[in-house]
Amino acid sequence: MQTLISITRRTVLFTALAVTFALAGPAGAEKILRVANFGEPESLDPHKVSGVWTHRVLRDIFMGLTTEGQGGETIAGAAESWTVSADGTVYTFKIRDHVWSDGKPVTADDFVYSFRRILLPETAAEYASLMYPMKNAEAINTGKAAAETLGARAIDARTLEVTLRAPTPYFLTQLTHYTAWPVPKHVVEKHGDAWNKPGTIVGNGPYLLEEWVPSTHVKLVRNPKFYDAGSVKIDRVVYYPGEDRVAGQKRFRAGEVEIATDFSSDQIDWLHKNLPKETRIAPYLGIYYYPINTTKAPFNDKRIRQAMSLAINREAITNKVLKSGEIPAYSFVPPGTPNYASGPSYMQWKGISYKERLAQANKLMSEAGYGPDNPLKFTLSYNTSENHKRIAIAVAAMWKQIGVQAELFNSEVKVHYDALKSGDFQVARAGWVADYPDPQNFLFLLESKSGSSLNYGRYDNNEFNSLMDKAGVTSDLDARAMLMAKAEAQAMEDQPVIPIYYYVSKNLVSQRIVGWVDNARDSHPVRFLDLK
Amino acid sequence: MLAYALRRLLVAVPTLFIIVTIAFFMIRIAPGGPFDRERAIPPEIEKNILAAYDLDLPLWQQYLKYVGGVLQGDFGPSYKYRDFTVLDLIASGLPASLQLGGIAIVLAVLFGITAGTFAALSQNSRYDYLIMAGAMTGIAIPNFVMAPLLTLVFGVYLSLLPVAGWGDGALANKILPVIALALPQIAYIARLTRGSMIETLSQNYVRTARAKGLRERIVIVRHALRGALLPVVSYLGPATAQIITGSVVIETIFDFPGIGRHFVQGALNRDYTVVMGVMIFYATLIILFNLLVDLAYALLDPKVKYEQR
């Protein structure tokens, strides 16, 4: 017995000692930024990834022809300058005199190689369609044309010419996206699929990969060969992938991370009270909406869709349910989206009071044959999440006032989107965050042409489609914006989707961080940050 | 005994095969696939991706390919983490999971048996009631409640320990997850030991030992405890399995980079190969631990022998 007790005593003593040592870590002058990133990168190959959390990590390792500035604006990156042909379809880039992290120069040929690589069907790049504005890109990606036919050629080592299939006003911004980043031809050809492992991976960005332990961290260290290395202040960056928002918030409170790139909305009251300076909320180019399956009766009746939209009190949702500064949405394209001088096109009834809206909605419902005696019953689906649930409950309660009985149905995210894709739903929750800041990146979700598998509600309106087609080949920005605004107005009249609110970005940022600028792209490249 | 162990291992092969088969088809029944995302992939691109992973083949061909691969030690690539194979992921998670589970089980045995013995020796005393009340609480509170409570108290309020993460393997990062994982086991083992100890103490051979005039310490440690431990040992097989599966929850809460997290993430991501790989790994472990328990029985209890007939 005493032996057992003395063993126990020794164990406790040893544990206490070990804890003391473990907690007393070494202190250094090195500046280390630790980020709760809420997602594991799928890969460190920019051609094989998706997701904003991966973008954050890769942005430190690679740099496109253009890149994101301190406030998310598009600035010169690997290209120091460029010219655009009069018809807006030919871009000529002057590649900056800079090198890969192994010292080899970055050339125009690297870009041609990379653009072809992401489009090859065998690369199996999820996001290859973002490159479709380039001439022949779609044909190459679908196996109908050879990679050599792509509208990209190296005129010399430092001059790159890119030909587009139609003028694309957002093209320069799109080049900041990882799909358009260069991979080092000489390394990829030498190591094949293993080129992006620690030790072999080579980039042209401000940081280098030091270590990647899946589910644990990605560690980056300053790239001394980065063209602007002198102005990079943070020595090391550590990204933690854990997806639990509450755990991330705890780590932030405990000082274990300097940035948490999201927080749970139900924490908002506590955060406003206790961490008002650290809680950063900013408008974000994204829309939270309910697509309606327009192919299924009675939702093929426009009046029903309009009534359902009218009856949603968006202000109540943003102010009482969410409370994190989200903005009530009365259009599909968020306001402030660039290249949209004449938009967004709001729903016509935006200005009238909620009471009048309800009266209008009730009128529409009774015209369509529904009312208190004959209530409209359907299922509202959402993917499992506390916020989606709270919103769905609120919306269902609002719909009761117009005689709608919505049954709530939740499923995990994969199941939910599988159902949306196959049209197996009535009314559902969906969301969209812009890949590039342009109205087209929202409105294309409602196009019915083949390939738009994101048009969950199967909206098919000839007027809308032809306006979008016209906009696609119009190079004059104002005329193009006008066409898209008309298309959006049509969609808001038809209401195949019910916009509910525009997203905001939510970050927890330590007061030690210098250089953080809130912006609509939620883009905060580490190379512009500092720690005090 | 060796022949018995070999026989058991041979039987394990068809067992594993059946597990692989059932798991393979079960996970395919789950709606949604590895490449269903919040933003759907255009069909032509999805075609490219499915082809790259042979997911466009008929299911039976995929199955044959998979089993063929497994036989050669190839568990396939992860669909979600495209830079890693399933073996890479298991290998990267193994150290964390083994340390977490290993320390937890050692603590569970150490503290559980000590507390249980102590309670049995001072039966119906204040200490006994205290220990058993603690044990009941430990069993009653599930670890997904205990874990967040621990982080809140020790991590956030007292700022003594990190709330989550691996921290490069620092001991401080392991303390809370180990405690959360070990507590219910300590509680259970303590109850088990107490019960069986009380029973053993009234056995004739213990009385004989006392009658011989042996010192109480020797009576307890050498005679009574050995007999009292049998139920504990037979519990350890399933307990190890429980600690492994329990660590799925703990690893998720503490953001701990073990195999359990890969399992949870794999299931949510429909990362078929990862789920299959981890499942095979778990099944092998469970079979192995059950065998070890059976063998340990022979060592502890002279009545049990595995001899060839």
A62-192 fold: Dipeptide-binding Protein; domain 1 (3.90.76)
Measured between beta carbons, the chain A residues lying within 8 angstroms of B144 are: none
Whether omega before A344 lies within 30 degrees of 0, making that bond cis, reads yes
**Partner A, chain B 63-122, Cβ-Cβ below 8 Å:** 80-84, 88-89, 92-93, 107, 110-111, 113-114, 117-118, 121
Find the helix packing angle between A2-23 and B86-121, rounded to 10°: 140
Nearest-Cα distance to chain A for B287, in Å, is 27
Write out the residue limits of the CATH 3.40.190.10 domain(s) in chain A: 2-37+212-281+506-531
Under a CB-based contact definition with an 8 Å cutoff, are residues B30 and B271 in contact?
no
Contacting residues of A for B258, CB less than 8 Å apart: 215
Sign of CA dihedral A22, A27, A30, A31: positive
Write out the CATH class of domain B89-300. mainly alpha
Q: Given 3.40.50.720, 2.60.40.10, 3.40.190.10, 3.40.449.10, which CATH number is that of A2-37+212-281+506-531?
A: 3.40.190.10
Distance CA A143, CA A165 (A): 18
Chain A residues with CB under 8 Å of B77 CB are none
Instruction: Give the residue extent of every domain in chain B.
Output: 89-300
Are the beta carbons of A21 and B52 separated by less than 8 Å?
no
- Report DSSP state, residue B154: I
Structural class in CATH, domain A285-504: alpha beta
Among candidate residues A37, A472, A481, A442, the one with its CA nearest the CA of residue A220: A37
User: Which part of chain A has CATH 3.90.76.10?
Assistant: 62-192
- Taking one residue from A and the other from B, the number of pairs with CB-CB distance under 8 angstroms is 185
- Cβ under 8 Å to A: B residues 154-213: 155-156, 159-166, 170-173, 175
Find all residues with CB under 8 Å of A229, minimum gap 6, and list them.
Answer: A206, A222, A223
Q: Which residues of B touch A453 (CB under 8 A)?
A: 40-43
Identify the DSSP state of A343. Answer: -
> B 2-31 residues with CB below 8 A of A?
30-31
Which of B94, B221, B6 shows the shortest CA–CA distance to A7? Answer: B221
Do the Cβ atoms of A242 and B269 come within 8 Å?
Answer: no
Give the distance from residue B78's alpha carbon to the nearest chain A alpha carbon, in angstroms: 10
Chain A residues with CB inside 8 Å of B217's CB?
1-3
Mutate to test the interface with A, among B27, B45, B85 (most CBs of A within 10 A): B45
- Please indicate if any CB of chain A lies within 8 Å of the CB of B54: no
Walk along chain A (532 residues) and give the pLDDT tens digit of each residue. 444 444 444 444 444 444 444 444 344 579 999 999 988 898 999 998 888 899 999 999 999 999 999 988 899 999 999 999 998 899 999 999 999 999 999 999 999 999 999 999 988 888 898 899 999 999 999 999 999 999 999 999 999 999 999 888 889 999 999 999 999 999 999 999 889 888 899 999 999 999 988 878 899 999 999 999 999 999 999 999 877 888 889 889 989 899 999 998 888 889 999 999 999 999 899 999 999 999 988 999 999 999 999 999 999 999 999 888 899 999 999 998 888 988 799 999 999 999 999 999 999 999 999 987 889 999 999 998 888 999 999 999 999 999 999 999 999 888 898 888 888 999 999 999 888 888 999 999 999 875 567 899 999 999 999 999 999 888 888 999 999 999 999 999 999 999 999 999 999 999 999 999 999 889 999 999 999 8
d(CA A403, CA A363): 11
Contact at CB, A196 and B155, closer than 8 angstroms: no
